[in-house]
Amino acid sequence: MPAHYRESVSFTVLVTVAVALGASAVLLLLAVSGAPSITLLATIMAALPVGPLLVAYLWLDRYEPEPKTLLALGLLWGACVATVAALLLQGLGGFVVGFASTAELAVVAPVTEEASKGLFLLLLLWWRRAEVDGILDGIVYAGMVGIGFAFTENILYLAAAYDGMDGMGPGGIAGITSTFVMRCLFSPFAHPLFTAFIGVGVGVAVATRSPLVRATAPVVGYACAVVAHGTWNASTVYGLGSFLLVYAVLMAPAFGGMVGLALWARGSERRMLAAALEDAARRGLIPATDIGWVVDLRARRIARRHARAVGGAQAQRAMRDYQQAAIELGYLHHRLLRGTAPVDWQARGQSFLHSIQANRPRFAFPGQVVPQQ
């Protein structure tokens, strides 16, 4: 079995087992967090921001869509593994050291939660490095983990707010409503934003040729995530005024900056992909006339609709598989030219070329009368 297949299996097995154990613990937590009706209501309310956030991250991920299985594992890791690990670490730390509530909120929670979320990205970097091509991929995977984590955490907070536990307001409908507004409407992006700093660090580590940067970038990203998270948590301790000040002065600009970075990275991917495929075409790896139908998102959709109209569902499937293989080849070729290709780049490249050669005769691009043979 090739090395990258063994790594893929090892990663999948480890994460799946961890998710199963974490899910069991989460279900137990939810069972004891309140009455079933309140837990169900809290779950529904916590789920409301999940859909829009997922749509936003999947929109960012359109140039080189990541494997849906990995995205789902990231979401489940955040919802199950990271949540439970953070709670265990915080509980252990409080038992051993006896943190004050303010210190736990502003220091312990950010350190443990970002570590438990960031571990998924480090596992990707270790075992599935070839799936992360740069900053945008790091942000997308971090977003999945952050969304999952926020979902489970919001359920617990909403249920506790209804019960009036831990000083979370008056309880009842008023308590759960105010918590919903603050966590689910006012700041649903918080956890994805914090973990995005780690994602950026992982993306930089993958793309750089410097061993020093490769080693330090994830650590710097983690430190930034902890500082941002701690600042956010600390602002809630000192009343609504400090919370709004931090929100306006720090969090909103940080969120805007991260969105800007993601959009810049997304735009640069088209230029990078076009340049890499043009070089691949000069080497005879792909027809140069096909590049426009691969690098432009609108052209991709037009080509797939045309393939279906001319050759049916099979031609559309072949077109989709061809485009995906060409995209993967372009990213791999770019990393090879930069000197940052994964160690198994030859085997991966051959698999992409095999898919390209197998699917190309099965469809026609717009303007072609018959498929090229």
How many other CB atoms are there within 10 angstroms of residue 40's CB atom?
14
User: Which of 154 and 128 is assigned the larger pLDDT?
Assistant: 154
Q: In angstroms, what CA-CA distances link 103 with 84, 97, 159, 182, 193? A: 20, 11, 23, 21, 22
How many other CB atoms are there within 10 angstroms of residue 195's CB atom?
35
Rounded CA-CA distance 17/168 in Å is: 34
pLDDT, tens digit (0-9, with 9 covering 90-100), for 278-330: 999 999 999 999 999 999 989 999 999 999 998 899 999 999 999 999 999 99
Using the predicted structure, report yes or no on whether residue 192 has a pLDDT greater than 60: yes
The one-character DSSP state at 372 is -
Domain ranges in the chain are 3-237, 271-362
- Residue 170: predicted pLDDT: 66
Residues 328-354: what's their mean pLDDT? 91
Using the predicted structure, report yes or no on whether residue 5 has a pLDDT greater than 60: no
User: Which of 213 and 370 is assigned the larger pLDDT?
Assistant: 213
Q: Which two tokens stand for residue 200?
A: 């950026």
Residues 127-142: what's their mean pLDDT? 89
- Model confidence band, residue 186 (pLDDT cutoffs 50, 70, 90): confident
Q: Are the beta carbons of 121 and 138 closer than 8 angstroms?
A: yes
DSSP per-residue letters across 280-305 = HHHTTSS-GGGTHHHH-HHHHHHHHH
- Model confidence band, residue 146 (pLDDT cutoffs 50, 70, 90): very high
Q: Are the beta carbons of 218 and 125 closer than 8 angstroms?
A: yes
Residues 348-373: what's their mean pLDDT? 83
User: Which of 240 and 276 is assigned the larger pLDDT?
Assistant: 276
User: Which of 19 and 316 is assigned the larger pLDDT?
Assistant: 316
Output the pTM of the full model.
0.87
Q: For residue 191, which amino acid is it?
A: H
